C-alpha cells in the first residue's frame, strides 16, 4: 500500500548529526552488541553500577537459545523455550493443513501429549567459545596471493571445526569477528526434537500488520512457546531464566541476549557506496516483484493465501527495512559523516609510519574490490535462483551436496563441510509440505527478472529458459519434479553424484545444467570480493586494535551477543512517546481503526476484554542495541529474570544498521506481565503460566 516516505530523512538527519568524526572510537550511551568474552565492564559499572560475575555470564549464555535467524531462551526447568510468534511462523505454517490453520487460529497444547513436533526446527545452545585467531593466522602465508590466503584460511577453519566436532560431539563453527580481525571457535549443543506448545493467533501476535511493523507505540503479543525434547522426554536445561511477573520499570537497566544477524557499522565508505548505488536497489526491485506475484497467488483463494502467508510476511518485512536502509544511505549527510569518520581513522594510521606500512592501503584495496563487485553484480544477483522456491533450493542442494562431499572437507563450500552436514540433511529431508504451484510463482518472477535484466542473449538466461517463457519453465519444472517426495531426495543423496548425474528428474537436470555458472560466479565473488573484504577488513581491524585496543565490539555476525540499556520512552514529532503501552491501548487502536484489518483483533481477544486487567503493560521499549536476528531475545533484569521478549525495533532503529544512537531509536519488547495475563485470561493456559512462574527447582 501507499506509504508516506518523509520519515526516513528524519532518521538519516539524526544519524548524520551523531556521526561526527572523532579521533578515537567513542561509544554512545548504551551502544554495543558485545561478545561474552569482551563485555564493557567499565561502562556497565560507571553507568549502572553493575558488574556481571562469571556465573552470571555463564547463566546468560547457556539459557539463551539460537533459532537460526532468530533468538530465544529457556524459561523453565522442563525445556520450555520462548521466542517470537514471527520466529515460530514458518513452523506454524508447516504444521498447518487446509483443515487446521494454526497461524490464523493459534495453537494450544494443554497437555504434553498435545505438544506437536516441528518438522525441521533445529535449536542450538552455545556451550563454549575459544579464540583461534592465532591458529588461523599461522596457517596463512601473508606473502601468498589473496586467493591462496583465502584457501589457506578456509582449510584451517575447516580443520578446526572438524577436529572440534569430532572431539566434543558439539556442532562447531569458526566465526570471523571484527571483519577478519579475530577468529573464534563456537561450539553448540543442537536440539532437533522441538515441539510446539502454544502460539496465539497471528492477528494479535502481529497486530497492526505491515503498517505497525518497525513502529512504536505497539500492541503485539508476538510470542510462541516451544519445548525441547530429548529421547521423547522434555530436556532439563542446566540454566533457564526465571519469570519476573512484574516486569521492568521505567529507566531500569535491562539486558538482551541473542543473535543479531548483520550490521554495517564498520564497513568502509566504498562498501556503503556499493550498497547505496548498486546492491540495495536491485534487491528491492526483485523483492517487490516477488511480493506482487505472491499477493496475486494468495488472492486466488483461502488455501493459497494460507500457503503464501509466511513468504508475504517475510517479504513485506524485508522490503520495509531495505527501503529504509537505502533512504539512510542516500542521505548525503550520512555518507559525509561516514567519510569524515573514515578519513579521521586513516589520518591516524598515516601519522604512524609502521601502521601506515601495515594497514595504510587497506581501504583502497576494498574500494577496488567494490568496483569489481559493481561490475558483475547484476549477473551475480539475477542468475541466483537459490533463494525463493523451496523445490529449487532442494534441487540445488542435492546437486551440490553430492559433488562437494566427494572433495576433501576443507575444499568444500562452507555449508557442505562435515560439521554442517547433519543440519543440512535435517532441512533437506524435512517432511514439511512443499507447494509446487507456489514455488512456480516464485521461480517465474526470478526468471522473468533475469530475462528482463540480462536480456535473452545472456548465456545463463539461454540455458535456464531454452526457447520457453519464464512461466512455462517454472510451471513445467515444479509440476513434474519428484522432489516433493522426501524418499526420492534421500535416494538421490544416497546415490551420490552418480545418481544425480543419471537422474532424469526435470528439476535435477535443470539444476545440473546451471551449476557450472553458479560455481563460476561464486568463485569470482569469494575470490575477488569477500576474500578481499575479509583480508583487508582484518587489516583495518588491526589498525583499530593497534590504535585503541579492543575497546569496541564487532559488527553483528549472527552469533551470541549481549546488549545492555535502559527502559526509556523518547521524544518524537514534538511530543513524547511512553516507555510502555497497555491492553487499553490495544483495544483503543483496534477501535480507532473501526476494527478493520490489520487492526482487527481475534474473537478470543475481543471476548476476553471484560476479564482482563486492561492496565497491564503490553509492550515496552529499551535502548538496548539490537538488529534483525534478535527477534525472540529475552529482556533480562540484573538478576537475570525474564522481564520481556524482544520482537522489533522502532522506525528510528533502522539507523542502527549503520550506527547506534539512543535519542529516538529503540528496541521493542513484549512485557512479561502481558504474556502472563494473556496466558491466564485470554487463552486459559493456566498450567503454562504456572510453569513459568512456579518453576520447579533444578533437577
Where on the chain is the footprint of a second copy (CB under 8 A)? 2-4, 6-7, 9-11, 13-14, 208, 211-212, 214-215, 217, 250, 320, 324, 569-576, 578-582, 584-585, 587-589, 591-594, 599, 614-615, 651, 663-664
CA pair distance 240, 231, nearest whole angstrom? 20
| One-letter-per-residue 3-state SS of 150-179 | HHHHHHHHHHHHHHHHHHHCCEEEEEEEHH
| Cα-based torsion angle of the residue sequence 311, 312, 317, 318 in order, rounded to the nearest 10 degrees | 60
Q: Give all strands (DSSP E) within 159-261, no chain letters.
A: 171-177, 182-191, 193-199, 224-230, 233-234, 253-258
Nearest approach in angstroms of CB 511 to a second copy is 39
| Residues whose CB is less than 8 angstroms from the CB of residue 77 and which lie 6 or more positions away in sequence, other chains included | 236, 237, 240, 695, 696, 697, 698, 699
Nearest approach in angstroms of CB 593 to a second copy is 5
CA pair distance 176, 174, nearest whole angstrom? 7
Task: Return the ∠ at Cα 225 (arms to 36 and 229), rounded to 5°.
Answer: 80
Among 266, 214, 261, 215, smallest CA distance to 19 is for: 266
Nearest approach in angstroms of CB 618 to a second copy is 9
Cβ nearer to a second copy, comparing 7 with 409? 7
| Residues whose CB is less than 8 angstroms from the CB of residue 103 and which lie 6 or more positions away in sequence, other chains included | 89, 92, 93, 96, 202, 306, 309, 310
CA pair distance 69, 86, nearest whole angstrom? 11
Cβ nearer to a second copy, comparing 149 with 581? 581
Nearest approach in angstroms of CB 253 to a second copy is 18
Cβ nearer to a second copy, comparing 114 with 250? 250
**Contacts for 578-581 with beta carbons within 8 Å, 24 or more apart?**
578/217, 579/250, 579/620, 579/621, 580/250, 580/617, 580/618, 580/619, 580/620, 580/621, 580/671, 581/217, 581/218, 581/219, 581/617, 581/618, 581/619, 581/620
List the grid coordinates of 283: 534487491
Nearest approach in angstroms of CB 662 to a second copy is 12
Contact in structure between 538 and 157 (CB atoms under 8 Å): no
Among 611, 556, 236, 288, smallest CA distance to 448 is for: 288
Among 626, 623, 643, smallest CA distance to 558 is for: 626
Nearest approach in angstroms of CB 385 to a second copy is 31
Cβ nearer to a second copy, comparing 99 with 594? 594
Cβ nearer to a second copy, comparing 193 with 212? 212
**Would you list the DSSP string of 9-63?**
HHHHHHHHHH----SS----TT---B-GGG--HHHHHHHH-----HHHHHHHHHH
Cβ nearer to a second copy, comparing 72 with 217? 217
- For the chain, the C-alpha Rg in angstroms (whole number) is 25
Cβ nearer to a second copy, comparing 129 with 318? 318
List the grid coordinates of 11: 532518521
**Would you list the DSSP string of 296-362?**
HHHTT-HHHHHHHHHHHHHHHHHHHHHHHHHHHHH-HHHHHHHHHHHHHHHHHHHHSHHHHHHHTTH
DSSP conformational letter for 567 = B
List the grid coordinates of 674: 502481558
Cβ nearer to a second copy, comparing 207 with 377? 207
Q: How many residues does the chain have?
A: 699
Nearest approach in angstroms of CB 112 to a second copy is 38
Nearest approach in angstroms of CB 342 to a second copy is 24
Cβ nearer to a second copy, comparing 582 with 623? 582
Nearest approach in angstroms of CB 635 to a second copy is 18
Nearest approach in angstroms of CB 505 to a second copy is 44
Nearest approach in angstroms of CB 207 to a second copy is 12
List the grid coordinates of 324: 529504509
Cβ nearer to a second copy, comparing 69 with 569? 569
Cβ nearer to a second copy, comparing 4 with 113? 4
Cβ nearer to a second copy, comparing 93 with 663? 663
Nearest approach in angstroms of CB 333 to a second copy is 11
Nearest approach in angstroms of CB 338 to a second copy is 19
Cβ nearer to a second copy, comparing 657 with 663? 663
Nearest approach in angstroms of CB 659 to a second copy is 15
Cβ nearer to a second copy, comparing 288 with 418? 288
Cβ nearer to a second copy, comparing 59 with 580? 580
Nearest approach in angstroms of CB 307 to a second copy is 27
Contact in structure between 434 and 484 (CB atoms under 8 Å): yes
Nearest approach in angstroms of CB 649 to a second copy is 12
Cβ nearer to a second copy, comparing 180 with 217? 217
Q: Which residues of 624-643 are buried (b: 16+ CB within 10 A; e: fewer)?
A: bbbbbbbbbbbbbbeebbbb
Cβ nearer to a second copy, comparing 147 with 568? 568
What are the Cα distances from residue 512, in Å, to 7, 140, 416, 518?
46, 34, 17, 10
Among 131, 130, 146, 139, smallest CA distance to 410 is for: 139
Cβ nearer to a second copy, comparing 174 with 254? 254
CA pair distance 237, 229, nearest whole angstrom? 11
| Cα-based torsion angle of the residue sequence 165, 169, 171, 177 in order, rounded to the nearest 10 degrees | -50
Among 172, 396, 414, 371, smallest CA distance to 269 is for: 371
Nearest approach in angstroms of CB 608 to a second copy is 15
Nearest approach in angstroms of CB 326 to a second copy is 14
Residue 551, SS3 per DSSP: coil
Amino acid at each position: 500500500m501507499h506509504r508516506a516516505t518523509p520519515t526516513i530523512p528524519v532518521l538519516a538527519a539524526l544519524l548524520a548529526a551523531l556521526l561526527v568524526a572523532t579521533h578515537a572510537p567513542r561509544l554512545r550511551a548504551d551502544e554495543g552488541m558485545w561478545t561474552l568474552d569482551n563485555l564493557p565492564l567499565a561502562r556497565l559499572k560507571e553507568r549502572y553500577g553493575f558488574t556481571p560475575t562469571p556465573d552470571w555470564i555463564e547463566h546468560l549464555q547457556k539459557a539463551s537459545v539460537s533459532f537460526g535467524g532468530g533468538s530465544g531462551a529457556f524459561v523453565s526447568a522442563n525445556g520450555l523455550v520462548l521466542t517470537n510468534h514471527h520466529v515460530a511462523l514458518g513452523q506454524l505454517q508447516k504444521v498447518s493443513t487446509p483443515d487446521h490453520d494454526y497461524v490464523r487460529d493459534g495453537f494450544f497444547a494443554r497437555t504434553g501429549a498435545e505438544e506437536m513436533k516441528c518438522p525441521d526446527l533445529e535449536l542450538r545452545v552455545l556451550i563454549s567459545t575459544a579464540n583461534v585467531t592465532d591458529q588461523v593466522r599461522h596457517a596463512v602465508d601473508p606473502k601468498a596471493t589473496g586467493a591462496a590466503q583465502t584457501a589457506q584460511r578456509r582449510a584451517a577453519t575447516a580443520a578446526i571445526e572438524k577436529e572440534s566436532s569430532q572431539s566434543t560431539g558439539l556442532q562447531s563453527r569458526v566465526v570471523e569477528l571484527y571483519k577478519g580481525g579475530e577468529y573464534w571457535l563456537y561450539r553448540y549443543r543442537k536440539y532437533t526434537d522441538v515441539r510446539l506448545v502454544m502460539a496465539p493467533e497471528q492477528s494479535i501476535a502481529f497486530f497492526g500488520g505491515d503498517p505497525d511493523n518497525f513502529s512504536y507505540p505497539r500492541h503485539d503479543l508476538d510470542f510462541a512457546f516451544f519445548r525441547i525434547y530429548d529421547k521423547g522426554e522434555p530436556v532439563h536445561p542446566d540454566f533457564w531464566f526465571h519469570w519476573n511477573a512484574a516486569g521492568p520499570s521505567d529507566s531500569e537497566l535491562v539486558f538482551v541476549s541473542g543473535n543479531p544477524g548483520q550490521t554495517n557499522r564498520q564497513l568502509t565508505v566504498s562498501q556503503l557506496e556499493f550498497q547505496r548505488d548498486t546492491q540495495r536497489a536491485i534487491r528491492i526491485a526483485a523483492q517487490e516483484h516477488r511480493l506482487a506475484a505472491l499477493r496475486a497467488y494468495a488472492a486466488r483463494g483461502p488455501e493459497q493465501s494460507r500457503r503464501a502467508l509466511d513468504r508475504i510476511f517475510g517479504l513485506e518485512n524485508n522490503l520495509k527495512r531495505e527501503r529504509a536502509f537505502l533512504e539512510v544511505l542516500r542521505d548525503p549527510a550520512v555518507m559525509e559523516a561516514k567519510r569524515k569518520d573514515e578519513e579521521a581513522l586513516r589520518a591516524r594510521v598515516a601519522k604512524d609510519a609502521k601502521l601506515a606500512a601495515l594497514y595504510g592501503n587497506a581501504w583502497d584495496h576494498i574500494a577496488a574490490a567494490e568496483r569489481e563487485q559493481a561490475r558483475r553484480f547484476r549477473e551475480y544477483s539475477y542468475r541466483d535462483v537459490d533463494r525463493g522456491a523451496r523445490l529449487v533450493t532442494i534441487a540445488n542442494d542435492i546437486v551440490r551436496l553430492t559433488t562437494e562431499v566427494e572433495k576433501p572437507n576443507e575444499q568444500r563450500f562452507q555449508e557442505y563441510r562435515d560439521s554442517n552436514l547433519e543440519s543440512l540433511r535435517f532441512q533437506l529431508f524435512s517432511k514439511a509440505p512443499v507447494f509446487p504451484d507456489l514455488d512456480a510463482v516464485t521461480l517465474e518472477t526470478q526468471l522473468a527478472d533475469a530475462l528482463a535484466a540480462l536480456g535473452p542473449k545472456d548465456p545463463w538466461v539461454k540455458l535456464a529458459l531454452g526457447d520457453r517463457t519464464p512461466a512455462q519453465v517454472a510451471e513445467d519444472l515444479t509440476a513434474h519434479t519428484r522432489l516433493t517426495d522426501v524418499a526420492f531426495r534421500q535416494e538421490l543423496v544416497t546415490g551420490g553424484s552418480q545418481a544425480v548425474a543419471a537422474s532424469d528428474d526435470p528439476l535435477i537436470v535443470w539444476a545440473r545444467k546451471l551449476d557450472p555458472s553458479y560455481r563460476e560466479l561464486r568463485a569470482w565473488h569469494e575470490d575477488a570480493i569477500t576474500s578481499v573484504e575479509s583480508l583487508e577488513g582484518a587489516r583495518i581491524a588491526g589498525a583499530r586494535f593497534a590504535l585503541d585496543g579492543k575497546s569496541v565490539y564487532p559488527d553483528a555476525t549472527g552469533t551470541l551477543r549481549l546488549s545492555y540499556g535502559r527502559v526509556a520512552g523518547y521524544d518524537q514529532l514534538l511530543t513524547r512517546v511512553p516507555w510502555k503501552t497497555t491492553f487499553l491501548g490495544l483495544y483503543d487502536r483496534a477501535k480507532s481503526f473501526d476494527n478493520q484489518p490489520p487492526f482487527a483483533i481475534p474473537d478470543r481477544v475481543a471476548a476476553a476484554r471484560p476479564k482482563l486487567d486492561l492496565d497491564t503493560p503490553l509492550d515496552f521499549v529499551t535502548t538496548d542495541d539490537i538488529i534483525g536476528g534478535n527477534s525472540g531475545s529475552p529482556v533480562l533484569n540484573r538478576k537475570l529474570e525474564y522481564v520481556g521478549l524482544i520482537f522489533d525495533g522502532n522506525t528510528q532503529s533502522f539507523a542502527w544498521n549503520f550506527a547506534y544512537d539512543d535519542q529516538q531509536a529503540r528496541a521493542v519488547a513484549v512485557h512479561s506481565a502481558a504474556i502472563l495475563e494473556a496466558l491466564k485470561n485470554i487463552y486459559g493456559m493456566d498450567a503454562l503460566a504456572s510453569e513459568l512462574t512456579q518453576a520447579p527447582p533444578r533437577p
